[in-house]
Amino acid sequence: MAVENGMESLEFRAEVQQLLRILSHSLYKERDIFLRELISNASDALHRVQFVMLTEQDVLDSDAELAVRITADEETNTLTISDTGIGMTREELIENLGTIAHSGAMAFLRTLEEGQKLDDIIGQFGVGFYAVFMVADEVRVTSRSYRPDAEAWTWTSSGDSTYRMGPASKATRGTSIEIQLKEDAKEFLSSWRLEQIVQAYSNYVSFPIYVEDSVANKQTALWRQSASEVDEEAYEDFYRQLTMDFDPPLLHLHISADVPVEVRSILYVPGNRETGPLRSRTDYGLKLFSRKVLIQDRNKELLPEYLRFVEGVVDSADIPLNVARETVQASRAIGHIKRALRGRLLRAFEELGEEDPERYQTFWEAWGPFLKEGVATDFAGRDDLLPLLRFSTSVSGDGLRSLADYVRDMKEGQSNIYYILGDSPQSVSRSPHLDAFRSNGWEVLYLVDPLDAFMVQSLREFEGKALSNVDDPDLDLPETGSEPESESEESAAQLGPEAFGRLISRFRSILGERVVEVRESKVLKGSPCRLVSSESGPERDMQRVRRLLEDDYEIPAKILEINRNHPLIRNLARLIQIPASDAFVDLTVEQLFENLLLLEGLHPNPVQMVSRIESLLEQAVAASVPPETPA
Ligand code: ADP
Ligand code: MG
């Protein structure tokens, strides 16, 4: 550390140096966002001092107006942004503007490399302050903390590898940022231009922002206005300023209630999921105000966890300022608000589903997994979530169906809701389990998302109809004419009980302990066989997930059901009478069994089947060639 006329020189971390190089040497069109970032910091600082004043006695300048001031000096080519916020001590200046940023800088640089636009992301990694170097040759931050005994300090840097610290004289509380503008950044001296930027990015900052002597922002607490006074555009603007997400939200909700607790709130459902993980540093939660005073930036208690994709603000006069200390009063008020917000949101989702199915599909694709998590975790409120679920089904085509759709279209004699678990709609649609359902015209829900297995354990019935897995051994399906499909006269002959019995024993001896039983199927139509679960209970719905998650998980043995009318089975029964075919029969039975594991999504290693299939093909081809054919 070098000391020179009272100023000491310190070095930025390597990541910050790299970030600064990018910012000061590149030509970004959207340079005006530097002002948004500085105002956002000033606003944070004002909120924090406002809070401190309500909870602590000794605050410097407690009468000062809470505001941001922007002034420009054309002669010196400088722009100054000052606030009467919480201020920074010497240590805080070093920490906040020097040290702390390096991890954010790293994450930021990585995201930038992935092709994200700089202006979309700079505020999200705790490096927003540095955006000032897009327009500055030099920056001087002078700050005085609210603590009465703190002294003023100054931080300066020209955006290279170092910054300097030194004592300063500043009589008033807060922070002042003096920017020596670059030659090509003089546009930011114009009041008109400054006002325009404030209105575009910072209109809803709740403190006055003075450009020279007049207030440039609306500073309305939008959520405290009545919904009829607020137009769509204002809601979208506010969303953008709140989240830095530049895509419009899918849905907004303006809530106003006075009993049992006072609450004013605006909630948003973002349009796409990608905005979520990117906003990593701040993570989730709602902004909590009490009479417009910001109490918590990211409150997680106001919504059930599965609704964490919702963004917004909540303001309640009934929340005490020391909410963080978990007083009984606070938690009671929070509990009331949570119930109200949850109820309103779920109702809004349901209405969207009824009124605008197309939009709802977008909503479902982005946020459906969170609602499924809700079904699995919100025991008391599960029934409110069920109308929101959507499924691909055996009749849905490209669309999605709700449980209500399913129940409405149930066929006569059908008392259960049926589902099949699997890996994709394409794979489950080929499942032998669906044979009987297809011929009866009964619908089957496709549960093909790994989350579905968790969800269905908590989803045992809907409107009094039990949910039932199609691999149930005791499926109660109506008999439909199970005539074998058109075949030559001879092979269509019924397989006698004796021959069928022999075949079943043969299956048993080949498969051994891999099956608990081999028996005739009453439900199969076009498929030769299927596997059904011998055990019931939720555990079996989890088998697929466990196989994915646990390397050494062994699938419990199942019951093999055989379709005695299927030509393959009938011919196999004939073939077992010929001793010379033993090896071929063994391979065929093995392969039939493994086909079923594959169809169930339970096969540990499908590639293993290839050599057996080749061997079967070899024999089938050989058998098909007439003896006199030349080679
Ligand atoms: P972020 O605002 O996301 O934390 P920034 O790079 O914008 O990241 O700011 C870094 C930190 O510097 C802030 O968290 C805050 O502690 C401090 N800071 C910046 N500007 C001010 C200000 N005007 N008043 C008080 N503290 C400030
Ligand atoms: Mg910031």
> Does the residue 162 lie in any domain?
yes
β-pair type (515-520, 558-562) = parallel
Average pLDDT rounded to a whole number, residues 305-314:
95
Residue 392 lies in a domain: no
**Tokens representing 536?**
């019931």
What pLDDT, on a 0 to 100 scale, did the predictor assign at position 484? Answer: 46
DSSP structure class, residue 1: -
Per-residue model confidence (pLDDT) at position 488? 45
Per-residue pLDDT for 217 more than 80? yes
Same domain assignment for residues 284 and 336:
yes
**Mean pLDDT of the chain, nearest integer:** 89
* Distance from Cα 132 to the centre of ligand 2, integer Å: 11
Tell me, what's the pLDDT at 544? 78
Residue 23 and residue 163 in one domain: yes
| Closest ligand 1 atom number to CA of residue 86 | 25
- Whole-angstrom distance between the N-terminal and C-terminal Cα of the chain? 89
Of the residues 170, 190, 215, the one at which a domain ends:
215
Q: Choose among 116, 94, 120: nearest CA to 16.
A: 94
Give the range of the structural domain holding residue 251, as residue numbers without chain letter.
222-360
Distance 126 CA to ligand 2 centre (A): 6
**Atom 20, ligand 1: residue with shortest CA distance:** 41
Task: Indicate the length of the chain as a whole number.
Answer: 631
Nearest residue (by CA) to ligand 1, atom 11, is 96
For residues 109 and 247, state if they share a domain.
Answer: no
DSSP H stretches of helix in 378-410: 382-385, 403-408
- Please tell me whether residues 204 and 237 are part of one structural domain: no
Whole-number Å distance between alpha carbons of 205 and 68:
10
Structural tokens at position 88: 């920074």
Determine the atom of ligand 1 nearest the C-alpha atom of 177. 23
Q: In angstroms, rounded to a whole number, what is the distance separating the alpha carbons of residues 624 and 618?
A: 10
Q: What is the pLDDT of residue 486?
A: 47
Report the atom number in ligand 1 closest to the C-alpha of 41: 20
17 domain residue, yes or no = yes
Q: Please tell me the distance from the alpha carbon of residue 577 to that of residue 81, in angstroms, as a whole number.
A: 95
> How far is Cα 345 from Cα 267, in angstroms, rounded to an integer?
8
In a domain, 382, yes or no: no
Could you tell me if 227 and 334 lie in one domain? yes
The CATH number that applies at residue 339 is: 3.30.230.80
Q: Are 394 and 434 in contact (CB under 8 A)?
A: yes
9-18, 326-335, 399-408, 499-508: least confidently modelled range: 326-335
Distance CA 298, CA 285 (A): 4
Q: Given ligand 1 and candidates 81, 129, 283, which is best to mutate, with the most ligand atoms within 8 Å of its CB? A: 129
42 CA from centroid of ligand 2 (Å):
8
Do 121 and 238 share a structural domain?
no
> Can you tell me which atom of ligand 1 is nearest the CA of 124?
3
pLDDT for 476 beyond 80: no
Rounded-to-integer distance, Cα 68 and Cα 83, Å: 5
**Residue located via tokens 């085509």:** 397
As a whole number of angstroms, the distance between CA 616 and CA 343 comes to 60
* Predicted local confidence at residue 450, as pLDDT: 85
Beta bridge partners of 138: 180
Q: Does 277 share its domain with 156?
A: no
pLDDT band at 329 (very low <50, low <70, confident <90, very high): low
Q: Are 30 and 118 in contact (CB under 8 A)?
A: yes
CB atoms within 10 A of CB 476: 11
Distance of CA 545 from the midpoint of ligand 1 (Å): 45
CATH at 208: 3.30.565.10
Asked whether residue 608 is domain-assigned, the answer is yes
Neighbours of 607 (CB within 10 A): 7
Alpha carbon of 44 to ligand 2 centroid (Å)? 8
Last residue within a domain, chosen from 327, 360, 393: 360
Give the alpha-carbon dihedral of 303, 306, 312, 314, to 10 degrees.
0
Where does the pLDDT of residue 327 fall: very low under 50, low under 70, confident under 90, or very high at 90 and above?
A: low
Q: pTM of the predicted model, to two decimals?
A: 0.77
Helices (H), 63-190: 90-94, 101-113, 118-121
Tokens of 230: 């607020």
CB hemisphere CA count around 344 (13 angstroms): 23
Dig out the tokens for 627 from the structure: 């003896």
3-class secondary structure, 72:
strand
Answer whether residue 473 is part of any domain.
no
> In angstroms, rounded to a whole number, what is the distance separating the alpha carbons of residues 85 and 45?
4
Please determine, for residue 360, whether its predicted confidence score (pLDDT) is greater than 80. yes
Q: Is the pLDDT of residue 535 over 80?
A: no
Q: How much is the average pLDDT of 292-310?
A: 89
The phi and psi torsions of 45 (rounded to 5 degrees) equal: -65, -35
At 551, list the tokens.
Answer: 């390397």
In total, how many domains does the chain have?
3
Same domain, 76 and 115: yes
CATH code for the domain of 610: 1.20.120.790
Inter-residue contact 155 to 93 (CB < 8 Å) = yes
Place of tokens 């439900």: 523
What amino acid is encoded at 73 in this protein?
D
Contacts for 173 with CB less than 8 Å, ≥ 6 apart: 49, 59, 60, 61, 64, 84, 85, 87, 144, 145, 146
Ligand 1 first shell, C-beta below 6 A = 37, 41-42, 45, 83, 85-86, 88, 96-97, 126-129, 175
pLDDT beyond 80 at 483: no
Give dist(CA 250, CA 356) in Å, integer: 12
Q: Does one domain contain both 228 and 346?
A: yes
Instruction: Show Cβ contacts of residue 34 under 8 Å, excluding neighbours closer than 6 positions.
Output: 131, 132, 134, 135
Question: What is the percentage of the chain residues whose pLDDT exceeds 70?
Answer: 92
**Which residue did the predictor score with more confidence, 338 or 533?**
338
Tell me which residue of 102, 82, 93, 78 sits closest to 18, measured CA to CA.
102
Edge to edge, the sheet with strand 461-462 lists 392-393, 444-447, 417-421, 465-469, 461-462
The closest of 371, 444, 376, 435 to 406, measured between CA atoms, is: 444
Domain boundary pick from 335, 360, 385: 360
Residue 52 resides in a domain: yes
Residue corresponding to tokens 């596997």: 531
Query: Do residues 67 and 200 share a domain?
Result: yes
Question: HEC states along 123-151?
Answer: HHCCCHHHHHHHCEEEEEEEEECCCCCCC
Average pLDDT over residues 499-527: 94
Residue 541 lies in a domain: yes
